[in-house]
Amino acid sequence: MSGADIMTGWEDALDAGELRFPRCQACGSWNWYPLPRCRACGSAAQTWTTIAPEGTLYSWTRVHHAFVRESVAELPYVTGIVDITGALGVRLVCLQRAGTAVPKVGLPVRLVLERTSRATRWLFEGARTA
pLDDT in tens, 77-116: 999 999 999 999 999 999 999 877 889 999 999 999 999 8
- Cα 94 from Cα 36, distance rounded (Å): 24
Average pLDDT estimate for 16-29: 97
- Cα 37 from Cα 126, distance rounded (Å): 34
- Average predicted confidence (pLDDT) for the chain: 91
Residues 86 and 35 in one domain: no
Average pLDDT estimate for 2-21: 88
Residues 78 and 116 in one domain: yes
Residues 98 and 40 in one domain: no
Q: Quick check: 130 pLDDT over 50?
A: no
Q: What is the pTM of this model?
A: 0.87
Residues 117 and 96 in one domain: yes
Of 68 and 91, the one with more pLDDT: 91
Residues 118 and 81 in one domain: yes
Average pLDDT estimate for 27-45: 96
CB atoms within 10 A of CB 24: 22
* pLDDT bracket for residue 126 (50, 70, 90): confident
Domain that holds residue 35: 8-51
- Asked whether residue 100 is domain-assigned, the answer is yes
Average pLDDT estimate for 61-82: 91
- Asked whether residue 3 is domain-assigned, the answer is no
Residues 12 and 30 in one domain: yes
Residues 26 and 86 in one domain: no
Q: Quick check: 127 pLDDT over 50?
A: no
* pLDDT bracket for residue 1 (50, 70, 90): low
Contact of 34 with 64, CB cutoff 8 Å: no
- Asked whether residue 83 is domain-assigned, the answer is yes
Contact of 123 with 97, CB cutoff 8 Å: yes
- Asked whether residue 112 is domain-assigned, the answer is yes
Residues 68 and 25 in one domain: no
Residues 15 and 33 in one domain: yes
Structurally, the chain folds into a number of domains equal to: 2
Burial class (CB in 10 A: 0-12, 13-18, 19+), 80: buried
Contacts of 100 (CB under 8 A, 6+ apart): 125, 126, 127
Which residue type occupies 104?
A: K
CA distances from 31 to 67, 73, 92 (A): 28, 34, 12
